[in-house]
Amino acid sequence: MENYITVKLNGGSEYEQDIYITKGEALALECKGNGAFQNKIWEVIASHINWREQMVVNGGAFQIMSYTINGITKEWH
């Protein structure tokens, strides 16, 4: 898996999970723009993950820790 985001369960748990993202989602995630643009892109990606994985990562029980694209990991914020 070369493109994924790493999420951590909220509430003090140390549980982390890597979630695959497609090449298109990875490309969108790497796009630069203002805060509103980045927020909208993230909403679209989160919607795709929710549909594909049946997992709510946006405003749910998880927080995004990092993302890895082509083997390079970057902190989320």
pLDDT at 1 over 80: no
Instruction: Work out the mean pLDDT of the chain and round it to a whole number.
Output: 87
Q: How far is CA 43 from CA 8, 37, 50, in A?
A: 18, 10, 10
What pLDDT does residue 60 have?
74
In tens, the pLDDT along 13-60 reads 889 999 999 999 999 888 877 778 888 888 898 999 999 998 888 777
pTM of the shown model: 0.83
What pLDDT does residue 48 have?
92
What pLDDT does residue 23 have?
93
Per-residue H/E/C for the chain:
CCCEEEEEECCCCCCEEEEECCHHHHHHHHCCCCHHHHHHHHHHHHHHHHHHHCCCCCCCCEEEEEEEECCEEEECC
